[in-house]
Chain A
C-alpha cells in the first residue's frame, strides 16, 4: 500500500448554542509513504481542527461528526483508549502549534526525551539515554543541549528538541502543525532543512500544516489548499503553483508578497466565518469567476489529470 494515511470525507464539528459549527466539513486526502504533504490555508479555515480530528485529540465541544481515517491500514476512528496510545508516538507523532512551549520547564531536555521514549515503547531507560545525543544531532543540536533546561534554549532550539522527541521512536508519520510559525527567518530555514533531512534519512512521511505559502513552496511534495472547512485543490506542489485549477488558489498565490516580484494583489472580501458558511461554493462571494451555479451548488472534489483534485465548477477554465 502506498498511502500511510487516508482521510475520507472527515467532518469535525463544534457544538454551539446556535447549532453546529462545521469547522471541517467533509475533507478527503491521502498522505503517501515518505512524502511531505502540505496543507495550506488562511486562519479560521479549519487546518488545526482537521489535524486534531485526524489525531483524535479534538476536545469538546468539538467532535468528529463523520468520515473515515485510516492510518497504515488501521481505522483510527474506531480505536479506543489503550489501542490508540499504542500507535501514538510510536507510529504516529505530533508536533503541535507553538510546541516550543510544550516542554516541561523544570526537566532537563534529556529527561523529557527519555520520558517520551520509555513511556511509549519497551526501550529501557539506559538505552533511551544513549539515543538522546544521536537524536539531537539529527536535528542539528549539540549534544550538551541534552543537559540543559528549556529556558536556556532559544525558540528555534526548543522547536528542534520537540522534533527530535517526535522522531525518537521512528514513526511512520509525523503531523506538524505550524512548526515554523513565529520563528525567525534563519531559524525557520534551518528547521525546514531538518524536516527535509528527516524525510530523506528516516523514511518518514510528514503532514505539514502552515499558513505560509512560501514555506510550502520550499518544502512540500504535494499540497492541499483549504478554504472554509473544505479542501479546494490538491496536487503536486509545482503544478499547484504553476497551474492552479481553483480560482482561490490562483488568487492566493498572486497575493503573496515576495522579493522575487514587485506587484501583488489581494483578494477582495473577507474569509467567511464558520458560524455561517456561504451557500453553494464557499468561495463564490469573493470569486471573480463566479456564475449562478456557484451560488447554488457546492462543487464536489473531482480528479483532473494526474494526481490533481479540485473543487470548482469551472476548474481548468482559468485564464
Chain B
C-alpha cells in the first residue's frame, strides 16, 4: 500500500495586509509546494534570506496561521481539519522547536514542569515512572538530570534550555519535527552537539524534520533535501549535496558563494558584484521575483515569471534560463 506522504505543502500562499489605510498587500509566501515523503526519516531544510517566508511556511504547517490559499496535508489530511477533529494526536505527532530558547519558559515554574506537562497531557506511558523517563530523556540529550531538575529557567543557559526542548521532543517522539532556526541563538561550541542530537532523532527514533535556517553551513550538516526560498517563492529544490556543489539558480549561486569558509587559506579571491537596486522600482507582478537583484538577468525576466522545472532526478529550478 502506498501511503500518503508525511507532509505535503500544496500551492501555499499567504498574503498579509499591511498598513492601516493603504492596505498594502504583502505576499509572504507565494505558491509554495514541497513534500516530505517520510518513507524513511529525512530532514528537509528550508533555506532563504530574512524575509523569504521560511518561518511563515513553518507556522502555517503548525496551523498557527491560516493560508490565504493552498493547503497543508499531514498524512494526506488537511492540517486545519486535523486540528479540529483530532487535535491531540496531531500535536503529538507534529512538534516544533523555535529560535528563542528564552521566551518559551514560564519564569514562575521550575523547568521540570515543561517535561511533566507533556507527559500528562499526551498521556505518555501512563503506567511507568514519569521521573525515570524524564531523567532518561535528559541523559540522551547530554544533560545531567541532577544538575537541571528543580531549577528555574533563569538559572540555566540558553544551550541547556534548547536541549531541554529536545528532551521534551524525545519524550513525545513525534513523527515530524518542525525546527525554526533552533541553533542561531546558542553558542558555536554547543551547536554541533545540538545538531547531532537532531541527526540522532532521525536515525534512532525515525523522526523526520523540516529545518528552517538561513545558514547553508548548518543545512549542509543536517539536511538531506533543501528547498531554497526567495521572497516567498521556491527558486530551487534538490538534495543538499547537489545544491551546494552545483547551484543552478542565480540566487542560490550568489548565496553559496557568499558563505564564509572557516579556512583563512581559502579566502574569497573574486569580488562579488553588489547590485545597488533602485529602490523605487517595484518588481512587476508578472516578472521574476529576483530579477532586480539577479546578476544573470536576461531580457524577458522582468515580464515573465519562471515556474519550477524539473531538471534532474528530484531537482527543480525556477529560472527562465531553464525554461
Question: Which residues in A have some Cβ–Cβ distance to B below 8 Å?
Answer: 42-43, 140-142, 148, 152-153, 184-186, 188-190, 192-193, 211-218, 237-238, 241-242, 251-253, 255-260, 262, 264-268, 270-271, 273
Residues of B within 8 A of A192 (CB): 260
In the complex, what distance in Å separates the CA atom of A255 from the CA atom of B191? 7
For B221, what are the chain A residues with a Cβ–Cβ distance below 8 Å?
257, 262, 264
Contact string against A for B residues 232-270, beta-carbon threshold 8 Å, 1 for contact and 0 otherwise: 000000000000100000000011111111111111100
Alpha-carbon distance A213/B192, docked complex (angstroms) = 14
**Which chain A residue lies CB-closest to B157?**
A270
Given known contacts A212-B260, A214-B260, A271 and B187 CB-to-CB distance under 8 angstroms: yes
B260 touches A218 (CB 8 A): yes
Whether B220 lies near A242 (C-beta < 8 A) is no
Known contacts A142-B276, A152-B279; is A268 also within 8 Å of B142 by CB? yes
Q: Are A242 and B265 in contact (CB under 8 A)?
A: yes
Complex: chain B residue closest to A240, CB-CB:
B264
Q: Are B260 and A266 in contact (CB under 8 A)?
A: no
The chain B residue sitting closest to A218, CB to CB, is B260
Residue in A closest to B217 when the chains form the complex, CB atoms: A257
Q: Which of B187, B214, B221, B268 counts the most A-chain CB atoms under 10 A from its CB?
A: B187
Residues of B within 8 A of A193 (CB): 268, 271-272
Q: Are B159 and A270 within 8 A (Cβ)?
A: yes
Asked whether A255 lies within 8 Å of B220 as measured between CB atoms, the reply is no
Q: Which residues of B contact A213 (CB under 8 A)?
A: 188, 262
Contact of A266 among B49, B192, B216 (CB under 8 A): B192
What residues of chain A lie closer than 8 Å to B262, measured between beta carbons?
Answer: 213-214, 217, 241, 253, 256, 258, 260
Residue in B closest to A251 when the chains form the complex, CB atoms: B189
B255: which A residues are within 8 A, CB to CB? 185-186
8 contacts between A and B (CB under 8 A): A184-B50, A212-B260, A213-B188, A217-B264, A241-B263, A265-B192, A266-B189, A270-B190
A211 to B183, CA, bound (A): 14
Separation of A184 and B259 alpha carbons in the complex (Å): 10
- Once the chains bind, are B142 and A189 in contact (CB under 8 Å)? no
Chain B residue with the shortest CB-CB distance to A193: B271
Interface-central residue, B142, B160, B191, B263, by most chain A CB under 10 Å? B263
In the bound complex, do residue A42 and residue B188 qualify as a contact, i.e. CB atoms below 8 Å apart?
yes
12 more A-B residue pairs beyond the given contacts A185-B214, A186-B274, with a C-beta to C-beta distance below 8 A: A43-B158, A148-B279, A152-B279, A184-B214, A188-B260, A189-B258, A214-B217, A241-B264, A257-B195, A258-B217, A258-B262, A266-B194
Number of interface residues of B (CB under 8 A): 45
Report B183-218 residues with CB < 8 Å from chain A CB. Answer: 187-196, 214-218
In the complex, chain A residues whose CB is within 8 Å of the CB of B254: 186
> How far apart are the CA atoms of A132 and B146 in the complex, in Å?
60
Across-interface contacts of A253 in B (CB, < 8 A): 262
Instruction: Tell me whether chain A's interface is mostly helix, strand or loop, or mixed.
Output: loop
Please indicate the chain B residues that have their CB under 8 angstroms from the CB of A153 in the complex. 279
Task: List the B side residues contacting A255 at CB < 8 Å.
Answer: 188-189, 191-192
Q: Which of B196, B255, B259 has the most CB of A within 10 A?
A: B259
A264–B263 touching, CB < 8 Å: no
| Shortest distance from the beta carbon of B136 to any chain A beta carbon, whole Å | 19
Task: List the 10 shortest-distance A-B pairs measured between CB atoms, nearest first.
Answer: A266-B192, A266-B193, A214-B260, A267-B189, A189-B258, A214-B262, A184-B49, A42-B187, A185-B258, A257-B217
Contact B187 A43 (CB under 8 A): yes
Complex interface: chain A residues within 8 A of B217 (CB): 214, 256-259
Q: Check A214–B49 contact: CB distance below 8 A.
A: no
Chain B residue, CB-CB nearest to A259: B220
Q: Are B276 and A266 in contact (CB under 8 A)?
A: no
**Which A residue sits closest to B51, measured CB to CB?**
A184
CA separation between A258 and B195, bound complex, in Å? 13
B278 CB to nearest chain A CB (Å): 8
Q: Note all chain A residues with C-beta closer than 8 A to B195.
A: 257, 264
Measured between beta carbons, the chain A residues less than 8 angstroms from B192 are: 255, 257, 264-266
Q: Which of B160, B218, B264, B267 contacts A257 (CB 8 A)?
A: B218
Distance from A140 Cβ to chain B, minimum over Cβ atoms (Å):
6
CA distance A241 to B267 in the complex (A): 13
**Are A141 and B216 in contact, with the CB atoms below 8 A?**
no
